[in-house]
Structure 1
Amino acid sequence: MHMLPKLQLKRLMHMVIFKSIWEIPTPSKVIAFSWQLLHDRVPTRDNLILRGIITQDTGGICVGCEVFPESSRHLFMHCKVAHSVWYEISKWLGVVIVMPSNLFHLFDYFSAAAFSKKSRKCFRLVWHSVLWSIWKARNNKVFNGIVVDLWKLWRW
């Protein structure tokens, strides 16, 4: 049996996930956002600094935890705010979560945690919804100065 090299396996996984995210009954703007997020094309502070839109001096710190630099991976997975939301969502779904290293693995985890084809669609819908909710809460704080209560964020 021939084993695929690690890089080819990673590309294959990414292709499957990119195809899968479009199969969920979710508003197209939410799916497009998830697609951009997986490509790391969302205007998080690290991406804005990278593109010269803001400078490190004007603030590259995460608006959620106000401690670590704001990257896609941090903002949507490892920030204390996002981590709490994912923890509560996984409790609500009745699954145990160990936060993976990236959003592809998180999508794969939610897909694999489902027990049927119908529940897989639901779990993937939750994945999209949580990402979208975190982004909307982040933008509400950045642009309107409104801090969304964690309880409301995961109980949407």
Structure 2
Amino acid sequence: MLVGILILEGEPDRWLWVADSEGKYTVKSAYSVLQGEIPTDADFNYNNIWTTFATTSSNTFTWRALMDRIPCKLNLMRKNVINRIEEVTCPLCNEVEESTSHILFCCSKTWLVRACCYRWLGISTALPSEVMAHFSQHSGILSNKNQKQGLMTIWTAMAWSIWTCRNIVVFDGQGWDYERVFELAQLKSWNWIQAKSKEFTCSFYE
């Protein structure tokens, strides 16, 4: 239940307990978790998907990623769509099997996209590699509702852009350009937040 490490510049380090709305551990909340009165990590992440400013289709992609249901190569092999082990290799780095966690967070090619994102946001972070842990970490960074929604929207935009451009590499034979992927995610997140947040007044170029 303790969420992975995340470091915000100018903010003190802290652990977050996802079973409490303020991120604080209490014996009462721990007891409630053990009794099944408070949702598990999976339920917590699932419920937070739909609070972003992203489109329904993009939020649905996030849900599928959290449930490990996107058609990455490892999942296709599990369904016997791919039969040869050599066909499971990540199409971007060509180093390891392409799992959901790998393509979105661990791949040396997609990691550069997220590195750009964290520099843009002014965040220094140690990233968990598991999808739900990664999502949970972001859902608890900020307490302000609109800021929290904005940050989770950016998370969704990053994941969606990585997967979309990965498919362009696989099906259209185009090269991978992490800066172009990051710019796409920036544009998507800005468009989504600008369209749905009444408090959002920033220019795209700020």
**Is the structural similarity TM-score above 0.5?**
yes
SS at match of 2:96: coil
Match of 2:111 in 1: 83
Structure 1-normalised TM-score? Answer: 0.90
Report if aligned partners of 1:137, 1:147 keep a CA contact under 8 Å in 2: no
Of the candidates 76, 79, 89, which is equivalent to residue 51 of structure 1? 79
Runs of 4 or more above 6 Å deviation: none
CA–CA separation in structure 2 for the residues paired with 1:9 and 1:147: 48
C-alpha displacement at 1:112, in angstroms?
A: 2.5
The one of 48, 52, 56 aligned to 1:24 = 52
Secondary structure of 1:96's aligned partner: strand
Q: Aligned equivalents of 1:48 and 1:62: distance in 2?
A: 12
Q: Does 1:117 align with 2:145?
A: yes
Q: Which has the higher helix share?
A: 1
Partner of residue 123, structure 2? 95
Give the deviation of 1:104 after TM superposition.
Answer: 1.4
Matched, 1:148 2:176: yes
2:40 is matched with which residue? 12
Aligned in 2, Cα 1:11/1:84: closer, same or farther, shift over 3 Å? farther
Q: Which runs of 5+ in 2 are unaligned?
A: 1-26, 185-206
TM-score by length of 2: 0.69
Structure number with greater CO (CA < 8 Å, separation at least 6) is: 2
User: Cα RMSD over matched residues?
Assistant: 2.1
Structure-2 separation of matches of 1:13 and 1:152: 33
Report how many aligned residue pairs link the two structures.
Answer: 155
Report 1:31-42 matches (<5 A). Answer: 31-42=59-70
Task: Provide the residue aligned with 2:19 in structure 1.
Answer: none
Q: CA deviation at 1:97?
A: 1.5
Q: 1:58 deviation in Å?
A: 5.5
Q: Look up the SS of the partner of 1:101 in the other structure.
A: coil
- The answer on whether the counterparts of 1:87 and 1:97 sit within 8 Å (CA) in structure 2 is no
Structure 1: tracts of 5 or more residues without a match = none
Distance in 1, Cα, partners of 2:113 & 2:73: 21
**Bigger CA radius of gyration:** 2
